[in-house]
Structure 1
Amino acid sequence: MHSKDPLVVWEDLKAVHRARGFATFLSLKRKFLTMKKEKGQKMSAWIGEVKSQVFEMEEAGLTVPDLDIILALTMGLPSSYDSLIINFDDTPSSDLTLDHVTTRLLAEETRQLTRVIPTPQTTIPTNAKDLLHNVTLSVNKTSLPVEQITCWFCDEKGHYKENCEKRKAWLELKKGNAMMVEDVDYVY
């Protein structure tokens, strides 16, 4: 390097060290299209990994259209995302943007993480209230940080339904109204 201009030095280094050639393009493209989301990997990390690979491909001189990025993002997902991918198939192509897909993937991850799954020990209850109670009890409450928990009663984050102050106040009000109804003398 003989130039004192950092931009010229950088361009010279880039020209010397940049991977080029048909074999390099094939290798990068193959890696890109066969990427898989790791089990337990956050969706944001998965999207970042795919975009990092896109950056590497573009630095090598390849053009990567958004449709290819969407394809790589969705091909590497586990089967739990199949219903979302089917939904993408029905989305008009004008609406199927990279931003739309990444937003939906992040939302689907949140939905899957907060989904209630009954344990195998849960017995079939006699009524729907018992079912809801059993399903609620079967949730692994340590799987999410408290700030990500959404109350089923008030829809606010940070607490469970049984700790909801609004629910406690509502139950007290309901209990008070029930007592008032019992005290009324009915005249026919």
Structure 2
Amino acid sequence: MDYDLALREDEPQALDNNNTVEQRLKFEKWEKANRMALLVIKRSISEAVRGGIPATDKAKDFLEAIEAKFKVSEKGEMGNLMTTLTTLKYHGKGTVREHILKLVEAAAKLTDLEVPIDDAFVVHMALNSLPDAYEQLKTSYNTQKEKWSLNDLISICVQEESRIKRVSNETVNFIKAETTRKTISTSGKPYKPFSYSHAAGNDTPSSSKGSQGFKGNIENIKCYFCKEFGHLKRDCEKRKKWAPKKGNKIENRKVNKRVQWPCS
């Protein structure tokens, strides 16, 4: 709506009786744009900030007063931009395109502050800021004689990001499938394998009762009640004495043996 006319053009000369119709229309248009621009600027800032700005009738002068209040030291801003360009790392938050564009933005602002930054330097810093997953891309760049432009770097990094995500998803799905296969039995119930790691070697329990049911060295069998070696928990004498005092009954487990009947 051409409300920024008062910011782009200077104020016309004041009207008098010798002005033409065209000059009067131009002055009225500029005056209307100045009032609207001043109103928009004041409505867009908070009341606390507005109270600290000197009052003026011209929008251009009002903007200059705001600039004076919020002027930033060029040296401080230059140091912050250099820190961002040299220390910013990509940790997987967002996309790699956004990360590289942040570095490009910092380099562009440094150029505006009369600190020109070469594109090759930005490409080098962007590659160094990538994690170890992009090590293959870094090696490819170092082995080539040609230098990449910023646009080439962004395009190649986006493709590499897609490849890394695809490989990562395939690895996660493979591990999940292997875990599910090992922990779920054919009946659909969780499979909890019994461990004989407390016994010697690869010994397995036999069908006889008591600690003698384990082949191998009985001294390597640990009781889970008294924490001593040489017997099982069901054969522990301390447990047999402890159970009646607590009101517990120890029932001996019966082993069902398969009986083979002779053929008729």
With the length of structure 1 as denominator, give the TM-score of the two structures. Answer: 0.51
Shift of 1:96: 2.2
What letter corresponds to residue 122 of structure 1 in structure 2? E
Instruction: Name 1:110's counterpart in structure 2.
Output: 162
Shift of 1:33: 0.6
Question: 1:84-95, aligned counterparts within 5 Å?
Answer: 84-93=137-146, 95=147
Q: Percent identity?
A: 12
- On the 8 A contact 1:18/1:60 being kept in 2, the answer is no
**Corresponding position: 1:63 with 2:65:** no
Shift of 1:113: 1.3
Shift of 1:32: 1.1
Of the structure 1 ranges 51-60 and 11-20, higher mean CA displacement relative to structure 2 is found in 11-20
What letter corresponds to residue 72 of structure 1 in structure 2? M
Greater fraction of residues in helix: 1
Give structure 2 stretches of 5+ with no counterpart.
1-5, 11-59, 180-264
**Corresponding position: 1:6 with 2:8:** yes
Instruction: Name 2:148's counterpart in structure 1.
Output: 96
Q: Distance in 2 between matches of 1:7 and 1:84?
A: 51
Instruction: Name 2:74's counterpart in structure 1.
Output: 20
Instruction: Name 1:122's counterpart in structure 2.
Output: 178
Greater C-alpha Rg: 2
- On the 8 A contact 1:28/1:57 being kept in 2, the answer is yes
Instruction: Name 1:40's counterpart in structure 2.
Output: 93
Equivalent position SS for 1:96 = coil
Q: Distance in 2 between matches of 1:83 and 1:102?
A: 16
**Cα distance change on mapping 1:7 and 1:29 into 2, 3 Å:** farther
Shift of 1:48: 2.2
Give structure 1 stretches of 5+ with no counterpart.
124-188
Shift of 1:43: 1.3
Equivalent position SS for 1:67 = helix
Shift of 1:14: 11
Q: Distance in 2 between matches of 1:46 and 1:39?
A: 9
CA RMSD, 1 decimal: 3.2
Higher relative contact order (CA 8 A, sep 6+): 1
